[in-house]
Amino acid sequence: MKNITLTAINASYTHTSLAARSLAKNCDDAANIEKLEFTINDRAEKVAAALFLQCSDVYAFCCYIWNIAFVCDIAVRLKAVMPQCKILLGGPEVSHDTAAFMCKHTFADYIICGEGEHAFAAFARGDDVASIAGLVYRNGGGIAQNPPQVIANLDELAPLYTADDLGALVDKMIYYETSRGCPYNCSYCLSSTLHGVRFFSLERVFADLSLFIDNGVRLVKFVDRTFNCDDSRMLAILRFILSRGGTTCFHFEVAAHTLSDEVIKLLKSAPHGMFQLEIGVQSTNADTIRAINRVTDMERLGEKVRQLRENGNIHLHLDLIAGLPYEDYASFGHSFDEVYVLRPHALQLGFLKLLKGSSIRESMREYGYVAVDAPPYEVLASRWVSHDEMLRLKDIADITDRFYNSGVFERALEYIMDACIMKKVDSTPFAFYEQFAIYWRRRGCDTAQHSRARLYDIFCEFCTAELQITDALFFDLLKLDFLRNNRGVRLPDWVRHADREGEYKDAKALRTKVFELLRNGGVKRYLPHLIGEDTGELYKRIRVETFNFDVCGGGAIGQNVVLIDVDAKKCVKISEKI
């Protein structure tokens, strides 16, 4: 019996490896399989030592662009001290140009190309290597490669999770698939190398979803490439989840422009936080969309996003990719603006990677791509974007992530966009983030770590010094953002701009009056989500602050008292006289 250590190197601690779990679950007892998971933040020598102590015959690794260098480092170490062990690799990063990879990396004894469950099980049983679909292996002085296999009936695969499994993953994100393949043919994506979509049966899916909900899984991230490629199927799954209730959040990747009215209606009826949607826009440039083989109706996409945004119950994550053909710096800025005005909760700026096996990689010369021929194969420049411009876009992506995607500057950013930028003919959201990125680098902010409180200082400094914003309402809104997202932190110096002389001069006396109000029916009126909490907990959890504007309403001037619950991200204005 072979002893096999199946190893996953994850991107972070909260991630789990769907591939490694599926490989292990689909093996019978013909081999002794030990599954271990680490992260790329672990030290290579520590991981290699842990694997060495397994004393295994075979070490198998799941390989991706973000972990392949780490895997190679570990494999080299293992081969150096255990030359008799065998190294088996699989995954998208080694499923293309496989023979060349094995010629370069002599530590690799075997590679499984494509879907690996059946092949890995056959290898673990000790089947003849020449009979294992998708296996690449050393054969004398050469390299032999068997044709890969596509698993036609996905229900043949074993269920991946049990209640005990989920109990051991309470602090992890659960990855899950209900289908394989994609109906689209985007030139930059590896899904385009396989044609057609295969589905697990709805009975199988419903059983898995019940398990997740019953065990209180925090977040289930579906890895289906386009979850709404079958509208009736998506409706059935959404209805099932809604019928079961629970506290689990489900994350899907969808093509927004093809969402049906019935799906939109169903999503809008869901409890807050039950669903998250990731929408790949990539570009709004029509020439770019055609060049990468996408079909997107931007007008319809925008309308669908606006409909989903109305209720505020669905977290919306929209993606753009810098470096695509025919998208120059100005065009990317236009794409940014068109997506930004849709007000997604997160706007992710990605950078094109020329993945092995993708058709866009074959167009490197035509598009003038400059890229390092090593993972992650990221484009550095093209016919349309210089390297200097790409670096500027990197800075803008960083600023967008810190200040917009974090969600902790929400009110102040809304004010800037509505009151300061959108009313200026020559300014746009992209111009704002571009100017902020230039300021960020000029001040050396990119070379240091910053606490959240310090980010508020930098944001305020930029808006006042560079944009000349001195409006009292802006400072009130920034103060509210700060208080809603920072527990027990001293108010920063810039808050003095928001504080005026008024009737609430004695903060301690004000707080005493407010809590007297809460004890006398005020909790039910203002903080119903905290009914039943004792006074001590309320006193620790609720912050009482004064503002010169109605920051909880329309922004009308008039000094008022606001209760802030950081845990629930709630703020409420006290209506009666204190």
All domains of the chain, ordered by start, with CATH? 3-145 (3.40.50.2300), 154-405 (3.20.20.70), 408-498 (no CATH), 507-573 (no CATH)
Residues sharing a CB contact under 8 Å with residue 319, sequence separation 6 or more, in sequence order: 278, 279, 280, 281, 282, 348, 350
Cross-strand pairs, 253: 278
Q: Is the Cβ–Cβ distance between 375 and 67 less than 8 Å?
A: no
Q: Give the chain's mean pLDDT.
A: 93
Q: Is the pLDDT of residue 488 over 80?
A: no
The number of beta carbons lying within 10 Å of the beta carbon of residue 366 is 11
pLDDT of residue 238: 98
* DSSP, residue by residue, 93-121: GGSSSHHHHHHH-TT--EEE-S--HHHHH
Q: Is the Cβ–Cβ distance between 37 and 8 less than 8 Å?
A: yes
Nearest to 255 by CA among 183, 164, 160, 357: 183
In the chain, count H helices and then E strands: 21, 20
Helices (H), 466-549: 472-485, 507-517, 523-526, 535-541
3-state secondary structure at position 401: helix
CA distance 168 to 171: 8
Reading the block at residue 242, the tokens are 């809604």
E strand or H helix at 330? helix 329-340
What's the CA angle centered on 469, arms 466 and 471, to 5 degrees? 170
Q: Label residue 400 by pLDDT band (50, 70, 90).
A: very high
Q: Residues 337-348: pLDDT tens digits?
A: 999 999 999 999
pLDDT of residue 497: 58
Nearest to 464 by CA among 504, 429, 386, 412: 412
Q: Is the pLDDT of residue 425 over 70?
A: no
Give the least confident one: 69-83, 285-299, 424-438.
Answer: 424-438
CA distance 377 to 34: 32
What's the CA angle centered on 58, arms 52 and 61, to 5 degrees? 85
CA distance 246 to 480: 32
* DSSP, residue by residue, 444-466: TGGGS---HHHHHHHHHHHHHHT
CA distance 283 to 496: 42
Residue with tokens 């030290």: 43
Give the least confident one: 112-126, 250-264, 351-365, 484-498.
Answer: 484-498
